[in-house]
Amino acid sequence: MNIAPRAVYIATAQVRDDEMADRVAKHQARRGAEWTNVAEPIDLIGALKRTDGQGPRLVDCLTLWLTNLMLGDHDWRGLGRELVAGLAGQSDPVVFVTNEVGGGIVPENALARAFRDAAGELNQWVAAEADEVYLAVAGLPLKVKPND
């Protein structure tokens, strides 16, 4: 088996100001040269296809990707289903960072409610396909799936 010595970090954030550019630069420096950095705010499916075979991938983050899709009037449901369907064909592991946004109060405005519902759907689809799911609380990982 060929194991890549590197890992791939796929960032879905969009750099729109100096503060975010500085934040991204600090994150990249902290990861070091062992990581290949890929910035892809919209075409996450393409980024996963292009990087398959380069080592394990860390996608940071699924909810930012969803935000980009929703604010850009993309078909997030279609793309989310396509993303999940394509995971089974990946030869290298994929780890998703996401946010659990459904645990608070019901948002006041329609866009925030739609986002909360969409994030819940997308997270469920990815979790259903995943071999393992963890929830981080106060920096501590809690294993959600599989139930051992």
Catalytic residue among 14, 15, 24, 27: 27
Residue 60 annotated as part of some ligand binding site: yes
- Check if the beta carbon of residue 34 is closer than 8 Å to that of residue 5: yes
11 is in an annotated binding site: yes
**Do the Cβ atoms of 56 and 95 come closer than 8 Å?**
yes
> How far is CA 82 from each of CA 3, 46, 72, 87, 143, rounded to the nearest angstrom?
27, 11, 18, 9, 26
Angle at 116 between CA 66 and CA 93, to 5 degrees: 45
| Residue 13 assigned to a binding site | yes
12 is an annotated ligand-binding site residue: yes
Active site (annotated) includes residue 27: yes
Residues annotated in the binding site, as ranges? Answer: 11-13, 60
Catalytically active residues, by annotation: 27
Annotated binding site for GTP: 11-13, 60
